[in-house]
Structure 1
Amino acid sequence: MTTSVDSSTSDFIKTLQKAGSSTAGDSTTGASSLGKDSFLQLLVTQMQNQNPLDPQDNSEFVAQLAQFSSLETMQNLSTSVDAIGGMYQSSQALQASSLVGRTVTVDSGSTNVDTSTDLVGSVVLPSTSTVTTVKVSDKDGNLVRTIDLDAQKAGTASFTWDGKDENGNVLAAGNYSFVATGSIDGTSTTLTTYLPATVSSVTMGTAGTAMTLNLANGTSVALSKVQQIGI
């Protein structure tokens, strides 16, 4: 009897070593614990190699079966979550492809301007401004136009630039910056400007990061920061 038990124990140890080797191999692909197949193999081997003179209590086997069931459920849940993540990535890719070439309105101080058409932007006022202006500068920082918006109430005020300088000359297309200021309670305050920009490409987000829009003016902005999407 003793010899039989020792032989069975040896088989059980070999099974453990085999499962451990399998687990070590799985670790190269990201697994860090026994899989459900290895777990079930160990459980069956344990039942086959128990001491017939002192068998394990049934409650112990029930507890291990419950652990096995829990392990299988977690692995199935992980598979489902991975599938959902893949579907979300596909949805993001489809959404990204539809944005390339379209115009979006974003919180920005500069944008690439086609001076042959009017540019429409907006400024955000935290409270009433008695004097509100938007100064337009070219890529070299030279002031080319000042747009007077007069007094404005708290909220959002739109402005239009026709692509001309102070003398009425049409300027060359290119990158222009817009700085809006308002006189609030007698203090000159810089205001947030929202400008239109064309999406040239999209950078897909990885786990935990948002999709990024790469704009024609060379800047990038998160999709969540876009105020409006145009045609």
Structure 2
Amino acid sequence: MATLDTSVLNSINQTTTTSGVTDSTQSVSSTEELNDQFMTLLVAQMQNQDPMDPVSNSDLTAQLAQISTVSGIEELNTTLEGITAQISSSEALQAASLLDQGVLVGGNAVLVGNATSTPFGLELADDVDNATVEVLGADGSVVKTFELGALEAGIHGFVWDGLLDDGTEAADGSYQLAVTAERAGESYDDLQTLSYGVVSGVNQTDSGAQLDLGPVLGVVSLDAVRQVL
């Protein structure tokens, strides 16, 4: 039984493998030209095939299915490029809307100044039976303790009034947070402390939107934001 010459089809498949999937700039016209070449070859072979040994319907159908798959991949790539562009545009707009907004991101710093302190947060992957947050001074000593009790999974925000455990006001500066938690009678550590920062700038980079939170927290990605306050 005769078979189709797959040289053009192989050329199409090779082009798709080396540039159609990895090179987002391949033009639609290039794909159309390859399709035309394939169909021209197919018609020529059908016209010149041995009538005593014709190409089978199944073989013909298989070849046509492959060229359709190649075209489908090109259309899919074009669609994905459009979706990616829309996501990038949406991310940029979302980041821009956060300018001058307060946010919570992963971190363990809390700042005190002018008798006020920045908010802080705690993110838990599961419910816990008890949680305790300690505020540490520059020398590592505990200056304030928060007994939070049982907490549900999720993000919890807190505000420190700036008073130490002895009732005096904390000196201006940066303090660190330390958390301990228990679940079902055992120590639990699937958690993270959250620090507060104000978005002072937004930069769009190849890796996505970057938010400038100032000298203490620095620059973070948009997906690092756990809560907007």
TM-score by length of 2: 0.60
Aligned partner (choices 37, 41, 44) of residue 41 of structure 1: 37
Which is further off, 59-68 or 161-170?
161-170
Q: What's 2:23 paired with? A: 30
Paired AA for residue 91 in structure 2? Q
Give the Å deviation of 1:225: 4.9
Q: What's 1:147 paired with? A: 144
Give the Å deviation of 1:49: 5.7
Is 1:197 matched up with 2:193? no
Contact kept in structure 1, 2:101 and 2:198, CA below 8 Å: yes
Question: SS at the partner of 2:129?
Answer: coil
Is 1:81 matched up with 2:83? no
Q: What's 2:217 paired with? A: 218
> For the residues of structure 1 that align with 2:187 and 2:46, how far apart are their CA atoms?
85
> How does 1:44-63 map onto structure 2 within 5 Å?
44-48=40-44, 52=48, 54=50, 56-57=54-55, 59=57, 60-63=59-62
Paired AA for residue 128 in structure 1? N
TM-score by length of 1: 0.60
> How does 1:166-177 map onto structure 2 within 5 Å?
168=168, 171-172=171-172, 174-177=173-176
Contact kept in structure 2, 1:112 and 1:197, CA below 8 Å: no
Q: Render the CA deviation track for 1:144-167: whole Å, top value 9, x for unaligned.
A: 8722435x4211786543446668
Which is further off, 179-188 or 74-83?
179-188
Residues matched between the structures, number:
203
Paired AA for residue 126 in structure 1? V
Question: Taking every aligned residue pair, what percent have the same amino acid on both sides?
Answer: 24
Give the Å deviation of 1:90: 0.7
Question: Which structure is larger by alpha-carbon Rg, 1 or 2?
Answer: 1
Cα separation, partners in 2 of 1:223 and 1:115, compared to 1, 3 Å: farther
Contact kept in structure 1, 2:129 and 2:150, CA below 8 Å: yes
Give the Å deviation of 1:210: 7.5
* Contiguous gaps of at least 5 residues in structure 1: 1-11
Give the Å deviation of 1:224: 4.5
Contact kept in structure 2, 1:201 and 1:214, CA below 8 Å: yes
* Contiguous gaps of at least 5 residues in structure 2: none
Paired AA for residue 66 in structure 2? Q
> For the residues of structure 1 that align with 2:63 and 2:136, how far apart are their CA atoms?
73
> For the residues of structure 2 that align with 1:23 and 1:105, how far apart are their CA atoms?
47
Which is further off, 74-83 or 59-68?
59-68
Q: What's 1:128 paired with? A: 130
